[in-house]
Amino acid sequence: MNVSAHLPVLQVVVPLFSAPLAVLFRRASVAFLLVTAASWAAFAIAIALWQQTGDGQVISYAIGNWPAPWGIEYRVDRLSAFVLMLLSGMAAIILPYSRASVEREIPSEQRYLFYALFALSLAGLLGITVTGDAFNIFVFLEISSLSSYVLIALGRNRRALTAALQYLVMGTIGATFIVIGIGLLYLVTGTLNLADMASRLGQVNDTRPVLAALSFLTVGISLKLALFPLHQWLPNAYTYAPSAVSAFLAATATKVSVYVLIRFYYTVFGASLVFERLPLPQIMLVLALAAMFAASAIAIYQDGLKKLFAYSSVAQIGYITLGLSFGSLLGLTASLVHLFNHAVTKGALFLLIGGVRAVMGRSRISHLHGLGRVMPVTSFGIVLGGLSLIGVPGTAGFISKWYLVLAAFEQGQWWLALAIVGSSLLAVVYVWRFVEVAYFREPHAEASERREAPLGLLVPAWILVLATLYFGLETSVTVGSAKAAAAMLLGLSP
């Protein structure tokens, strides 16, 4: 058997099967090893797939040898390979972190469940990205969502339960909308295979059921990706989840939803329907701007560091949708680059905050006086991550912002370019609230000696911090892949 031919299915199967194994062994340490090994294997597979698709090749894999469109097809192109790499890479870094973090936050009898759920969630997210089948997308979406509801509920604070319930309700509404959308598409086209669907939709493009399907899918996916004003579930979910879960969700969950949206818009419905004949870009533009300003403004007034960065995530998702709304090569590139860069940056920040919580017990800004002296390495990392959120040159955030501004100029929209840079000034304000407290306030008397986070937390977090700097200076992976993927989606030769 040639393993490399089965990479697309192994991408999902390896983490998926590590979950029941972890449950069978019931021992946290074994579960940890299994799931971490699975995530590293998934990362290796994703890199291999990324290299295979680098020349524009599309890998099609028929599950059980049933050819598409009758069987389920797994389909990896440049876009999905890029997202797969991001997802599995983040998991491969966050899982080693979770060991030291879980020991502090989750009761010992639940730890093996944590790892199993984490593996399920990862498998679900990877499955959404790798599959070429509409109903399969829904199934994997549910796998990843249900497991992440439970992961959030594992949080120490009792409010984690209400946060999880809130996410459950909103997420289920979103999933229902998505399944209605997929059902309508099935009704019209008689197929569930995305590529097949696209070719059949060509004839019945403008009919009412198709438009209804587009609307249902748009609203449903927007709920999952926390597009303003459908973001209410996100801040609480990120805030009360265990630290490793916050980082993983912030880095992956909303990003995959963006992927699904792009997939449906470009591959299934076609850019000309979505971006030329319907007023969708205008609606997205307005919502994106609202997210960029309103969510950043709310972030400024948060005391909890996790909630602050959760609102900042809502704002950053605004940047991603803004890039999408342009419907241009440059805009789509900016969007995809930011999807990646923001995942890395936010992952780094939430991991560092996990370290802060491990040492200080909490992460309210009002309790972090003098953190720069108590935890110098962690604090400096948070500052660097904050600089990337602002978009200071030399960090990954700058690259995304540069492409967004260029895309705005390309559209001839001066004012949008100003809005993009203007909203990043709000990021300066919320990042500097942390800086002033951490570096200008005297530490509280009982916590003034130097106590850095344990290495098990510090090292993975700093790998991501350094990655933020790396992707700010060397962008052949990020911009290169994003450009190629955007060109492919728009049907241009790169």
Partner 1 sequence: MTGDALVLLALAVPVIGGVAISLSGRRPNLREAITLTTSGALFLLVAALLPAVLGGTSPEVQLLEPLAGLPIAFRVEPLGMLFALLASGLWIVNSVYSIGYMRGNKEAHQTRFYVCFALALASTIGIAFAANLLTLFLFYEALTLVTYPLVTHHGTDEAKRAGRVYLGVLIGTSVLFFLPAIAYTWHAAGTTEFRPGGILAGHVTPGIITALLALFVFGIGKAAVMPFHRWLPAAMVAPTPVSALLHAVAVVKAGVFAVVKILVYVFGLEVLTGNGDWLVAVAGFTIIAASVVALRANNLKRRLAYSTVSQLSYVVLATAVLAPLSVVGAVFHILAHALGKITLFFAAGAIYTAAHKTEVSQLDGIGRRMPWTMGAFAIGALSMIGLPPAAGFVSKWFILSGAMAEGQWLAVAVIIGSALLSAGYFLPVVHRAFFRAPSAEETAHPHGEAPLAIVIALLLTAAGTVALFFAPGLPLALARQVAGIP
List residues near partner 1 by CB under 8 A: 387, 390-394, 399, 401-402, 405-406, 409-410, 417-418, 421-422, 424-425, 428, 432, 436, 439-440, 472-475, 479
- Rounded Cα distance between 491 and 494, Å, is 9
Least distance (Å) between residue 403 CB and partner 1: 8
Least distance (Å) between residue 467 CB and partner 1: 14
**Which of 2/476 has CB closer to partner 1?**
476
Count of alpha carbons within 13 angstroms of residue 181, beta-carbon side: 26
Q: What is the DSSP string of 334-348?
A: HHHHHHHHHHHHHHH
**Which of 381/391 has CB closer to partner 1?**
391
**Which of 233/471 has CB closer to partner 1?**
471
Least distance (Å) between residue 423 CB and partner 1: 10
**Which of 163/390 has CB closer to partner 1?**
390
**Which of 231/338 has CB closer to partner 1?**
338
Least distance (Å) between residue 176 CB and partner 1: 42
Sign of the dihedral defined by the CA atoms of residues 391, 397, 400, 404, in that order: negative
**Which of 425/455 has CB closer to partner 1?**
425
Least distance (Å) between residue 146 CB and partner 1: 40
Q: Which residues lie closer than 8 Å to 205 by C-beta, 6 or more apart?
A: 269, 270, 273
Least distance (Å) between residue 442 CB and partner 1: 9
Least distance (Å) between residue 390 CB and partner 1: 8
**Which of 246/378 has CB closer to partner 1?**
378
Least distance (Å) between residue 406 CB and partner 1: 6
Least distance (Å) between residue 487 CB and partner 1: 14
Least distance (Å) between residue 482 CB and partner 1: 12
Contact yes or no for 86/478 (Cβ under 8 A): no
**Which of 256/405 has CB closer to partner 1?**
405
**Which of 283/473 has CB closer to partner 1?**
473
Cβ count within 10 A of residue 38: 28
**Which of 310/390 has CB closer to partner 1?**
390
3-state secondary structure string across the chain = CCHHHHHHHHHHHHHHHHHHHHHHHCCHHHHHHHHHHHHHHHHHHHHHHHHHCCCCCCEEEEHHHCCCCCCCEEEECHHHHHHHHHHHHHHHHHHHHHHHHHHHHCCHHHHHHHHHHHHHHHHHHHHHHHECEHHHHHHHHHHHHHHHHHHHHCCCCCHHHHHHHHHHHHHHHHHHHHHHHHHHHHHHHCCCEHHHHHHHHCCCCCCHHHHHHHHHHHHHHHHHHCCCCCCCHHHHHHHHCCHHHHHHHHHHHHHHHHHHHHHHHHHHHCHHHHHHHCCHHHHHHHHHHHHHHHHHHHHHCCCEHHHHHHHHHHHHHHHHHHHHHHCCHHHHHHHHHHHHHHHHHHHHHHHHHHHHHHHHCCCEHHHCCCHHHHCHHHHHHHHHHHHHHHCCCCCHHHHHHHHHHHHHHHCCCHHHHHHHHHHHHHHHHHHHHHHHHHHHCCCCHHHCCCCCCCHHHHHHHHHHHHHHHHHHHCCCCHHHHHHHHHHHHCCCCC
**Which of 230/289 has CB closer to partner 1?**
289
Least distance (Å) between residue 395 CB and partner 1: 10
